[in-house]
Structure 1
Amino acid sequence: MRIAFLSNVVYPFVTGGAEKRIHEIGTRLAADGHEVTVYGRHFWDGPEVITHDGMTLRAVAPSAELYTDDRRSITEAIDFAARVARPLRRQLNQHKHDLVDVSAFPYFPIFSAALAGVGTDTPVVTTWHEVWRDYWEEYLGTLAPFGKAVERVTAHVPQYPVAVSGITADRLAGIGPTRESIEVVPNGIDVEQIRTAPRPAENERFDVLFAGRLIADKNVALLLEAFDAVAAEHDATLGIVGEGPELDRLKRQAQQLEHADRISFLGFLEEYEDVLGHMRAADAFASPSTREGFGITFAEAMAADCTVIAADHPESAADEVIGDAGYLVKPTADAVASALDRALAGERPSGDPLSRAERYDWDSVAQQAATVYERALAGKW
């Protein structure tokens, strides 16, 4: 197969979940003999077209700021979509690609792919990491109707939709394609890399760990309260990895807690393996997030043989990812504290986290993606 990915950001030059997924799937498909091209912004040094890890990277736009006031820039997304349409159209007219895979967010490149493919019968596969629906009101405020409208219109563009979880597929079906037409291909992890990541020094380890963007939906404030309730009994420490708009408020909250001296904010860790090492060293990984389109940190923590504590919530895919290999609790301080108490006492979930994590290894995910692409090409979706 000759596969084209559209992504304004390209891993490892920009690090994030969607672009990492493309990199991990793309490099494995390229190693299997498929021809893989990634269209993106020019975030790397050197010429606009390079070969990297077996894939062709083709810059169709210069590098640009992705965020405005801590929100993804709409103008950047529109600019990339406008710039990618013409070069992709040329390549499709020359039959250089059999299939195009576009990350659904930030939406506009999907329209570019659809227009570029007119008259070529090139399947457009879309990968949906989340479907926001009412979350647009929190994210955009008075501009929420614009976000909702773009998301809904995008869902109705002719496409072969892929969701990263069942809950994301269900949400997508609520605004566009039928549930039966949506394939689920989860996000992935490198199990071997996680299991061999070096642990931090003894004096830098934490009994409980959180890793993620510090936003309201992650409910780190709730975790701080829950941890404070059990910290003394277990002589425990809490490490919080990540940055975000909630950071200052969370630090102020932590300073008011009885066991503030047991809580450390580690910020954003540049080296991914440092995060994995902290997971391997911790007894529990706790993230009572109430909104997760997938929840990659849960899979990573399970591969690190860490007891996972997550929120059981209708807007979170945590139950799909964890199953019986972790603790799913109500998103309340008391429920999280109870789960922390069990984990810190050495109690383990009924399922095996290591075995559960295996299903999300990138090798398995890449095989699933290849099968989906073959079905789209054969018209057997």
Structure 2
Amino acid sequence: MNILMLSDVYFPRVNGVSTSIRTFAQSLARSGHAVTLVVPDYGPGSGQELHDSDEFEIVRLQARVIFFDPEDRLIRAPELRRILPQLAQRHWDVIHIHTPFRAHRLGVQLAQASGRPTVETYHTYFEEYIGHYLPWAPAPLLRFVARRVSRTLCHGVDHLIVPTAQMVEVLDRYGVTTPSTVLPTGIDLSEFARGDGARFRAEHEIDARRPTIVTVSRLAVEKNIAFLLQVARRLIADFPELMFIIAGEGPDAERLKRLSKEFGLERNVRFFGNLDRRTSLLDAYRAGDAFVFASPTETQGLVLIEAMALGVPIVSTAVMGTATVLRGARSAVVSEENVEAFARHVGDVLRSPQRRAELAAAGPLDARAWSTEGLMEQVVALYQRLAQAKPALMTTTSTTATELSR
């Protein structure tokens, strides 16, 4: 199949959406499908060339910085007008949209020009995110806007891919009637067969005997890392040599570093920024005696699956998408979002080598349920059904696209 994917975010911007998109594109390409990915250009010095792939085509469009979220980019409107006729001249079996901004607009216009089916993945629980980025606006108004915009966007495509059943329930509450399929992204398990925790500890002078917890996350308010810092502060009483490894970057980084100092955790918390996903990030995961996570807004929670695959014991809350990942998992201890309770669960894991070994051994077995191999077969079957049900328009698509772009 010829598959066009469109997104307002991709590497070098590190987050779950970028990871999900790359997993989709790589898996489809390795199965013999032709994939073209249209994403923002992050500009010179961004390191984006390190993330380009020879497995699938990447088209980058000029974009500008978003003032309230400088990590992200907004594709420039003239770029949409320029690229639309070019894309419309090519044959696509399906158009897969991953984000609801300029990429969504481009995908819908292209579908109108070509008659091809559109699929959109609902990656992000915007109702819970938007207030952190526009804190000056009334929360009820933001929730109303997020719900209304989500409903409008979802009704503009032919089919939705939703990572978990919990998000389907959310969209039902919004009044979304577009047909949907629950299909988590999953991970390529072969990428998580490595990692050397001892090497990471040695390189960063963390004693091999030191009790260590780790989290991997974008550093943003909605990820609830401040709660994990409170947990670490509580744990210090029982584990004075505790080390908390935090891998990731984001707009909340400076506040979290200040909180760490205010909590007296200078010796116990280290921020490592974004690490190479093929090497040092895998080492960082495995350097932990436990992986901790408490985000309440995940549509899936890919880092939990990654920790499972790497055999790192997990202590996490289970809300929204993380509840789906952790349901029945033998490699995780589920906790409520309460500092005392969460710290108690982590402490139990840190104290017991046997318990850690049991959780670690179960991790790769739990991760098998989230392998991309079987999940991508379901994605391709969905693409094929949609393509067969919606034949291409028998018109001159280049002319139609030019008219639409005006």
Q: Report the TM-score range of the alignment, normalised by the length of the smaller protein.
A: 0.7 to 0.9
**Alignment check: 8 A CA contact 1:295 1:318 kept:** yes
**Alignment check: 8 A CA contact 2:66 2:74 kept:** no
Q: Number of paired residues? A: 364
Which one-letter code corresponds to 2:127 in the other structure? Answer: R
CA distance in 1, matches of 2:80, 2:54: 25
**Alignment check: 8 A CA contact 1:185 1:369 kept:** yes
Alignment-derived partner of residue 243 in structure 1: 249
Alignment-derived partner of residue 53 in structure 1: 54
Alignment-derived partner of residue 324 in structure 2: 320
CA distance in 1, matches of 2:80, 2:174: 22
CA gap 1:147/1:269 in 2 versus in 1, 3 angstroms: same
CA gap 1:84/1:356 in 2 versus in 1, 3 angstroms: farther
Which one-letter code corresponds to 1:89 in the other structure? Answer: A
**Alignment check: 8 A CA contact 1:30 1:55 kept:** yes
Worse-matched range after superposition: 67-76 or 192-201: 67-76
- Runs of 5+ unmatched residues, structure 2: 45-51, 391-406
Alignment-derived partner of residue 93 in structure 2: 98
Highest RCO, 1 vs 2 (Cα 8 Å, sep ≥ 6): 2
Report how far residue 146 of structure 1 moved.
5.3
Which one-letter code corresponds to 2:190 in the other structure? Answer: E
Report how far residue 97 of structure 1 moved.
0.9
CA distance in 1, matches of 2:13, 2:255: 27
- Runs of 5+ unmatched residues, structure 1: 46-50
Worse-matched range after superposition: 137-146 or 272-281: 137-146
Alignment-derived partner of residue 76 in structure 1: 75
**Alignment check: 8 A CA contact 1:77 1:106 kept:** no
Equivalent in 370, 373, 379 of residue 369 of structure 1: 379
Equivalent in 116, 122, 125 of residue 131 of structure 1: 125
- Tell me the secondary structure at the aligned position of residue 89 of structure 2: helix
CA distance in 2, matches of 1:243, 1:14: 10
Which one-letter code corresponds to 1:114 in the other structure? Answer: V
- Tell me the secondary structure at the aligned position of residue 36 of structure 1: strand
Report how far residue 196 of structure 1 moved.
0.9
**Alignment check: 8 A CA contact 1:25 1:365 kept:** no
CA gap 1:232/1:123 in 2 versus in 1, 3 angstroms: same
- Tell me the secondary structure at the aligned position of residue 108 of structure 2: helix
Which one-letter code corresponds to 2:300 in the other structure? Answer: F
Alignment-derived partner of residue 153 in structure 1: 152
Equivalent in 186, 193, 215 of residue 210 of structure 1: 215
- Tell me the secondary structure at the aligned position of residue 210 of structure 1: strand
Equivalent in 296, 301, 311 of residue 317 of structure 2: 311
CA distance in 1, matches of 2:76, 2:278: 27
Alignment-derived partner of residue 184 in structure 1: 182
CA gap 1:153/1:106 in 2 versus in 1, 3 angstroms: same
TM-score normalised by length of structure 1: 0.83
**Alignment check: 8 A CA contact 2:148 2:174 kept:** no
Which one-letter code corresponds to 2:85 in the other structure? Answer: R
Report how far residue 52 of structure 1 moved.
4.2
CA gap 1:305/1:80 in 2 versus in 1, 3 angstroms: farther
CA gap 1:222/1:146 in 2 versus in 1, 3 angstroms: closer
CA distance in 2, matches of 1:134, 1:259: 29
Alignment-derived partner of residue 360 in structure 1: 370
Which one-letter code corresponds to 2:6 in the other structure? Answer: L
**Alignment check: 8 A CA contact 1:155 1:176 kept:** no
CA distance in 2, matches of 1:371, 1:267: 38
Report how far residue 207 of structure 1 moved.
1.2
CA gap 1:118/1:217 in 2 versus in 1, 3 angstroms: closer
Q: Percent of aligned positions with the same letter in both sequences?
A: 23
Which one-letter code corresponds to 1:116 in the other structure? Answer: L
RMSD: 3.0
- Tell me the secondary structure at the aligned position of residue 312 of structure 1: coil
CA distance in 2, matches of 1:77, 1:153: 22
Worse-matched range after superposition: 247-256 or 320-329: 247-256
Alignment-derived partner of residue 335 in structure 1: 341
Worse-matched range after superposition: 256-265 or 28-37: 256-265
CA gap 1:27/1:137 in 2 versus in 1, 3 angstroms: closer
- Tell me the secondary structure at the aligned position of residue 233 of structure 1: coil
CA distance in 1, matches of 2:157, 2:271: 45
**Alignment check: 8 A CA contact 2:107 2:118 kept:** yes
CA distance in 2, matches of 1:217, 1:15: 16
CA displacement, residues 207-265 of structure 1 (integer Å, 9 cap, x when unaligned): 10112122222222221222222235344321122233332332233223355422222
Worse-matched range after superposition: 263-272 or 159-168: 263-272
CA distance in 2, matches of 1:184, 1:370: 14
**Alignment check: 8 A CA contact 2:129 2:297 kept:** no
**Alignment check: 8 A CA contact 2:151 2:176 kept:** no
Report how far residue 165 of structure 1 moved.
2.0
**Alignment check: 8 A CA contact 1:9 1:43 kept:** no
- Tell me the secondary structure at the aligned position of residue 75 of structure 2: helix
CA distance in 2, matches of 1:333, 1:78: 46
**Alignment check: 8 A CA contact 1:129 1:293 kept:** yes
CA distance in 2, matches of 1:233, 1:225: 14
Alignment-derived partner of residue 2 in structure 1: 2
Report how far residue 298 of structure 1 moved.
0.8
Alignment-derived partner of residue 48 in structure 1: none
CA distance in 2, matches of 1:130, 1:279: 24
Which one-letter code corresponds to 2:3 in the other structure? Answer: I
CA distance in 1, matches of 2:365, 2:6: 33
CA gap 1:115/1:219 in 2 versus in 1, 3 angstroms: closer
TM-score normalised by length of structure 2: 0.79
Which one-letter code corresponds to 1:107 in the other structure? Answer: F
CA distance in 1, matches of 2:343, 2:94: 48
